[in-house]
Amino acid sequence: MEGGESVGLKEILEIYNMSISDLAQKLGIARGNIYNWFNGKRKIPRDMLKKLSQLFNLPEEFFSRELSETDILNVKRTMVENLIDEVSFEYTEAVEDDDGSETIITQTYINNSLLQWRDELCNDINNQRIKDSIVDRVNRTLKSGSIANKAKNLSDSIDIIESNIVPSSVFNNILQAVLYSYGLREYKSDNKTSHKKFTEDLMRIIKNHEDERQKEKKKLDDLINSSIVSDLF
């Protein structure tokens, strides 16, 4: 792929709507260097990868490889988190107590729209990870041939999952219902052990990712509870 060494950087600049000129200025280099990265004439130097990582708060590897759908969602989430840090501010005031003494109170103000955007991206990331994990698990099952009689159905399921026909906002609930129904049918088949393990593996994937999502939600809730959330700035 032409410019493959820097394809991730191209995608990140598009997400940030940042021009090559702006990036060159932030890195303190000539635009020609970045064009050379993009057209494949040069690789991104190690010191520039480090600067890019610090500038965007992303892993160095993101700038020198093609990004997956999950990677792109993570870039967007990090961008929003960076914006939250930039626009949030602390306000300190003195509050007079009943006894006439003063107490200094410091509150952190955070933009509500950015928090909602971050929460939506966290949901999208969780659903995409579930999709990726399930597709991987189904593909391994198809290759093993342990439930070959269901191969066509499983292959069709992968096509549906990867096509994004099912909106991510409802994917998880629908999938759990489908797997529950699938499990009941498979327990009646002749090859109970492999079918049961397959279904349990899929359910475990959902549970593990949902646990991670709940941890993310708790972190967001803790942030909101310790701050003043407002759309006034």
Is 83 buried (19+), middle (13-18) or exposed (0-12) by CB count in 10 A?
middle
Q: How high is the pLDDT of residue 188?
A: 40
Q: How high is the pLDDT of residue 13?
A: 93
Compute the distance between CA of residue 229 and CA of residue 102 in angstroms, rounded to an integer.
25
Which letter does DSSP use for residue 62 in this model?
G
Amino acid at position 41, single letter: K
How is the chain split into domains, by residue range?
4-67, 68-233
Q: How high is the pLDDT of residue 3?
A: 47
Q: How high is the pLDDT of residue 61?
A: 93
Amino acid at position 170, single letter: V
Mean pLDDT score, 59-87? 88
Amino acid at position 193, single letter: T
Radius of gyration (Cα) for the chain, nearest Å?
Answer: 24
Mean pLDDT score, 205-223? 67
Q: How high is the pLDDT of residue 127?
A: 76
| Local structure of 93: helix, strand or coil | strand
pLDDT, one tens digit per residue, over 84-131 is 877 776 667 777 777 777 777 766 677 777 788 888 888 888 777 777
Second CATH level (architecture) for the domain 4-67 = Orthogonal Bundle (1.10)
